[in-house]
Amino acid sequence: MEMFLALIVGIGLMVGILTLQFNSYLHMRYVLSILPYSLIGIMLGLAITQNTLSFPSMMGFIALSGIVVNNSILLIDMMNSMRRADPNKDIRTIVLDAASNRLRPILLTTITTVIGMIPLTYAGDLWSPLAYAVMFGLVFSVVITLVLIPITYSRKPGDLPNTN
């Protein structure tokens, strides 16, 4: 119960911080829309590795949520910056340019995190579910982030937040 409460408080804090950062509820929703998809990756990873959903794997989801949100922030912030720099540019061109510009940093941080978690899978029964949750959830959510964020951003661009 305490873990669920901590998750709710964490998501509430993320909502507040993202809304302040982007000055837009729409962009905050884009960023947080990725979190449920990371659960799919976690469940698939736990099923593949024949681990059960446990306290450490739930801790992995909480840790993973920060990484996943960071990837979405990188994409949306780049798209917003490019729109501010050239407001007359086609939204699809901006989305493609921003996604291709941020692809390498997102993939490199994902690969290093996944590789860094591999030793934790051998550290024992307590730590392996956490490592598998982070590894599989991260890989799945990065793929979804790189596909879903550009699609949702270009589908309904919304108003660019005022920075003046």
Pick the closest to residue 51 from 118, 128, 117 (CA basis). 128
Residue 116, domain extent: 52-159
Question: Does any domain span residue 65?
Answer: yes
pLDDT of 67 strictly over 60: yes
Question: Does any domain span residue 9?
Answer: no
Question: Does any domain span residue 56?
Answer: yes
Which 8-state DSSP code applies to residue 123?
A: S
pLDDT of 84 strictly over 50: yes
Say how far apart CA 85 and CA 77 lie, in whole Å. 12
Question: Does any domain span residue 104?
Answer: yes
Provide DSSP, 47-75.
Answer: HHTT----HHHHHHHHHHHHHHHHHHHHH
Q: At which residue do the structure tokens 């507040």 appear?
A: 16
Average pLDDT over residues 116-132: 89
CA 86 to chain centre: 26
Domain of 127, CATH number, reads: 1.20.1640.10
Question: Does any domain span residue 42?
Answer: no
pLDDT of 126 strictly over 50: yes
> What is the total count of domains within the chain?
1
CB atoms within 10 A of CB 160: 15
pLDDT of 164 strictly over 50: no
Average pLDDT over residues 61-86: 89
pLDDT digits (tens, 9 = 90+) for 27-52: 888 888 888 888 899 999 999 999 88
- Tell me if 21 sits within 8 A of 73, measured CB to CB: yes
Pick the closest to residue 137 from 77, 74, 66, 73 (CA basis). 66
The dihedral sign for the CA sequence 150, 22, 107, 110: negative
Please state whether the predicted TM-score (pTM) of the whole model is above 0.85.
no
